[in-house]
Amino acid sequence: MSLSIETREQAIEADRNDPLASFRDRFVLPDDVIYLDGNSLGPLPRRVVDRMTATIRDEWGEGLVRSWVDADWINLPEQVGDKIARLIGAGPDEVIAADSTSVNLFKLLSAALSLRPERRVIVSQKGNFPSDLYIAQGLSDLLDRGHELRLVDNNNLIDTIDQDTAVVMLTQVDYRSGHLQDMAAITAAAHESGALIIWDLAHSAGALPIDLNGAGADFAVGCGYKFLNGGPGAPGYLYVAQRHQDAIKPILSGWMGHKDRFAFDPVYQPADGIKRQLCGTPTILSLAALDEALDVMLEADIDQLRAKSLALSRMFIDLVECNAAGHDFELASPRDDARRGSQVSFHHQHGYSIVQALIARGVIGDFRAPDILRFGMTPLYTRYVDIWDAVAALSDVMATSAWDKPEFTHRAAVT
């Protein structure tokens, strides 16, 4: 097998030539850690520390309730939404940051189903993130109108969409395998059958170029704490194409989505546009962190990010298959760059213990049941030499059977 990078020196050389290299210093990263889990929880951008200090000490501490206006807290959900819009090919008034991905999906699935009242089928992926499927199940039960959740493999989606399909609800990048869907083709197929589409961008936004409007998408949701580096429990966001915004009657009709919040009108009337998707009071501290983190992300060129993500991924695949050959790793991610998001996953029957043994050496990836080792590729702060060193650690863990110790088999509450 021919590798593009065959020595540690070549990896260091690739870092020297990397146009994104300077971004690494913008993050707090412990010296003894190689972080390949930014797709689960992004690291802390340095400038977020100062922003949080100012938001807490000055805006909250000194400004108190006045900061809703003086520090413009009240418009933070739209401000953050506008920044995310630039990463996902949406217009400025089409995205708003609020709530969690799961809650936002509940809102938009309910909206989409109400726009297709004659149809009963929701098409999604068998391997979709469970919360997405649970939300569809819970909402169907609540509506009690006989909706069917039709789950299929990633490769059979288009053939499954038919005249009964109300909504196609898909995660663009599969959280286990990293399989990347063709957004334009599937959106077109959904529309051809008269169905609406909801994209979950949890594992794609901030990792690769996305063009929701170019694809003609209807709705989307996504996550603030993964590739967007907004911090633990950062708010999610939602996208509603302009053409649908005023046709939706929000199911979570809270006061923040009211037309005139401070009229304290006893009767709910939805605000115009995307604002009606707000429900309760925005989580200002988390939003401020996400807002600041997005400024770092928006400085980077998304095409350069994608190119480096693919280069890191190819390097990782090649090195694992070369250096850990004979240790039963089976690639779980698509080999084709065009079909892979920004992570590399392998099957291994001892996956959990191997991941624990790697973490003990400072190489942080994660494990997804039943047998997936998952490594996120985050080009803003991951270097080529990190990939080299991570694979060296993996090879050593396998060669010495270091994973086969009792302390690495006990399952923690969070994997």
Examine the residue annotation and report whether 260 is marked as an active-site residue of this protein: no
Q: Which is nearer to ligand PLP, 227 or 384 (CB)?
A: 227
Examine the residue annotation and report whether 226 is marked as an active-site residue of this protein: yes
Q: Which is nearer to ligand PLP, 101 or 140 (CB)?
A: 101
Q: Which is nearer to ligand PLP, 150 or 327 (CB)?
A: 150
Q: Which is nearer to ligand PLP, 176 or 383 (CB)?
A: 176
CB 79 → ligand PLP: shortest distance, Å? Answer: 20
CB 221 → ligand PLP: shortest distance, Å? Answer: 8
100 binds ligand PLP (CB under 6 A): yes
Examine the residue annotation and report whether 374 is marked as an active-site residue of this protein: yes
Examine the residue annotation and report whether 129 is marked as an active-site residue of this protein: yes
Number of residues located near ligand PLP, criterion CB under 6 A: 13
Q: Which is nearer to ligand PLP, 357 or 372 (CB)?
A: 372
Site for ligand PLP in 115-154 (CB under 6 A): 129, 131-132
Q: Which of 225, 239, 375, 408 is the catalytic position? A: 225
Given candidates 23, 27, 175, 316, which one binds ligand PLP under the rule CB under 6 A?
175
CB 229 → ligand PLP: shortest distance, Å? Answer: 14
CB 303 → ligand PLP: shortest distance, Å? Answer: 23
Site for ligand PLP in 203-242 (CB under 6 A): 203, 223, 236
Q: State residue 41 phi and psi, 5-degree precision.
A: -145, 110
Q: From 224, 244, 252, 246, select the one nearest 77 (Cα to Cα).
A: 224
323 binds ligand PLP (CB under 6 A): no
List active site positions: 129, 200, 225-226, 374
Residues contributing to the site for ligand PLP (CB under 6 A): 100-102, 129, 131-132, 171, 175, 200, 202-203, 223, 236
